[in-house]
Every structure is written in C-alpha cells, then in structure tokens.
Amino acid sequence: MTEEFTFVATGDSFITRRLPTSQSTEFKELAELIGTGDFRFTNFEVTTPGKNPMPSPVSGGTWASGKPEVVGDLKEYGFNCVAWANNHTLDYLYNGLEETQKQLEKAGFVHAGVGGHLADASAPKYMETAAGRVALIAVTSTFHETWIAGEQRRDVPGRPGVNGLRYRSKYQTTEENLKLLKEIAEQVGINARRNLDILEGFLPEDPSGEVVFGEYKFSEGPESRLERAPEPKDMERVIRSIHEAKRQADYVVVSVHSHEMQGEDKQAAADFIEAASRTFIDEGAHAVLGHGPHIVRGIEIYRKRPIFYSLGNFIFQNDTVDFLPADFYAKHGLPADSNVADGIDARSKNNTIGLGTNPLVWESVIPRWKMKDGELTELHLYPIDLGFGQKRYQRGWPELTNNDKVLKDLQALSKPYGTAIDIQKHIGVVKV
C-alpha cells in the first residue's frame, strides 16, 4: 500500500423520490465531491419491492420503499458501494429483499451486509479500483430478531436476512431494589410463562443471583446502571470476516448501522458500539462507518484510523413513500381507507412532532479522507443541508452549504474522543 487511497462516505440514503435533475448546481457540486473518492459509500436504507409488495408485520419505523429507479439515481451521484443491513431491510419480507438485491446488482453496486444466508450476509464484498482493492463488511445492531440471516446446514438451507450485531444488556441495581423487583414479579406473574418454559425444558435455567423481570435480567450492584456488550458470537463472525478481508484487499471498511444510544441522548453512541468499533480496528479494519440515528455523532481517530459513530443523513425522505401497509394505519388509529398523507399527518401530529421538527436531522457532513500505508493522512468534512423547514415533499435532498453549525456540533461531539477539528473556509479539517 504505497499509493494514497481516497475515501468518500455518506450516512443514510433514505430515498423515496426520483432525482429531479442531474443538471442542477447543487447536484453537480455533490457529484464532483463524491467522484473524487476511490471508495464512494452510502447506506441504502429503503427497499425496492417492485410490484405486489408483501409487507412485514413489523418495520423499522416507516415501511421503507422506493421505486426501483431510485437505485440508479444514487448511482448518478457517483457512489460505487453500499451497505444495506439496517432496520428496514426486511420491511417487505424476503421478496422485498430479493427485489432490492436485484436492483443493486443491476446498477453495478458492490453491496454488503445482506444475503440469502448468514455466510453471504457476513462475507466481505470486494471492490476493484485503480488505486487498490477495498473490502466492505456491513453489520446492523438495530433490527427485529427474526431478520438476522440464518446459517446453512447440510440438511436445512439458510435464511435470508441481515448480518446482525446483537448485544447483551446487564442491568445492575441495589439489593433493596432487587427484592422489590422480585416481589412485584411474583405478584403480577410477569415471569409465569418463562418459569413454565424452564420447567418443561424449553429454556435453560437462569443463572443464580439474577432476578428476571419480564425480558430483563437484573443483578446486584452498588448502584443502578446499565452495561451493554456486543454478542460474542456475532463479534467472532465479524472478526473472521475482517481477518479474511485484510488478506484479500488493501483496505477493509466496516459499516455499522445502529440506533442505540446512551440513555436518551441520540448524539451519543451506545457503549457496546464504541467497544465493537475499536475492536474492529484492532483486528484490522481501516475505517468504521456508523449511521442509523439520522443525526451526526462524534468522530474518533483510533490507532490512526477513523471511526465515524454516525454520519447522519445524506438523503432523507421517509415521509414520501408511495404506500404503507394496513399495520401502519392501525398503529395510528386510522381507518382502512386512509392514505399516506393521512398516515404521516397522524404520526407527526400535523407536522408538530417527529424527525421533521428536529433540525439536527436535516444537517450532516460528508467526510473525505486519505490513507497511505494503512494510516490516516488527511480528513476533511464537508457540511450538507437537507432542507429543514421545507414542506415534507420538498425536503430531503442534500446540498453543500457554508453553514458551520454542524461542524461546530461535531467539534463538541468529537472532543471527548480526543479528536480536534479546525474549521477552515467552511470545511472541517481533522487534526491527524
């Protein structure tokens, strides 16, 4: 790796509308910036289920779908690889997954994180460039438990799905609180089904010293707190992929989709995501690209390699899907003959709550960085604006901006990681 390699990455592309034009100044400026990278990445956060879509009974929020042509619109921006392991991958079940994969491959994208079985979903996917070969591995920590891809056996095929990164939650509280929890559990019978399943052999016995309260397990400690750690089995699988990829490519990039946070602070990455990201670098990854919460999070330069805990949004159009299933309308107490506009009005309480009212959702950055001999040599951050305050059918398209606010926010969010960001002519320059 003697030559310098250039990376450009964006966060979530939740694209549900066709690109109006590729001739606008705003589009051309973005395409020019993206086109300077050898590796040009986005997270594809919708499905393209095509005709007769079959909705899942559960969704990542909005049942995310777009016309098949939106994949080509992303290609117009200049991206050459995508992750699509996220909380919307199976919004339209296996058929939606398969149709989306067809469109990604038709457009010529290298794509990772989803597959017909676990080996496929977790495999590194390789991209050839004039400057070198790059491997992309993608995981998601935010997904319905049934969406994780299944392993193949000699007698049973695998299951389509995502490359999941699960985590374990450890709740600690005082001896007094444990006694109270145990009493309440016994009084209301919240563990009755679980207790019976243990007696009948369908579940293993709970470890001694733990108090189970519904889905949650508590142990005694000096104070009340929550600790989370990535699931060892999932970490081992990702690490195996990294070890394979670093022997097969010049650079290894890991994409991590995660909505989990610290408490109620969406700008703070979850503890287990920080731990997992550093481990990925320790094991050989050259960069970790986080996304998911639809706002930016801090940047850490760890062992001379970047970890972006969230790149926010690149395109965000979750209010302009063409259709929604009956489950969505029922959730919001709407009659069967309701339409999408009715549904979005109900969810947002007529545009007074929700993501549309949060300005942080509609500003982000595009990082462009260079590496040589496996180490970071340069990292610049270009701020973008997605149209906060516009009508919901107008907002969501990105454009470069001279507004330094998001850069100042990133300065503060990155400071706890020891990352210093200068602002020079409306561009964030990370000290490396």
Rounded Cα gap, residues 329 and 31, in angstroms: 38
Comparing 399 with 1, which gets the higher pLDDT?
399
Domain extents for the chain? 5-114+251-277+286-323+354-430, 175-220
> For 196, what's the count of Cα atoms within 13 Å in the CB-facing half-sphere?
4
Confidence label for 2 from pLDDT (cuts 50, 70 and 90) = low
pLDDT of 30-62, one tens digit each?
999 999 999 999 999 999 999 889 999 999 999
Q: What does the block give as tokens for 158?
A: 């695998």
Mean pLDDT of 341-349: 98
Question: Tokens representing 269?
Answer: 């990455």
Read off the pTM.
0.95
pLDDT tens digits, 261-313: 999 999 999 999 999 999 999 999 999 999 999 999 999 999 999 999 999 99
Cβ-contact 254, 238 below 8 angstroms: yes
Select from 262, 263, 245 the least CA-distant residue to 254.
245
User: Tokens representing 235?
Assistant: 């970490």
Mean pLDDT (the chain) is: 97
Q: Nearest 5°: phi and psi at 27?
A: -65, -45
Distance from the Cα of residue 243 to its chain's centroid: 22
Nearest C-alpha neighbor of 272 from the set 226, 216, 230 = 230
Structure-model confidence comparison of residues 405 and 209, the more confident one: 405
pLDDT for 262 equals 95
pLDDT in the model for residue 353: 97
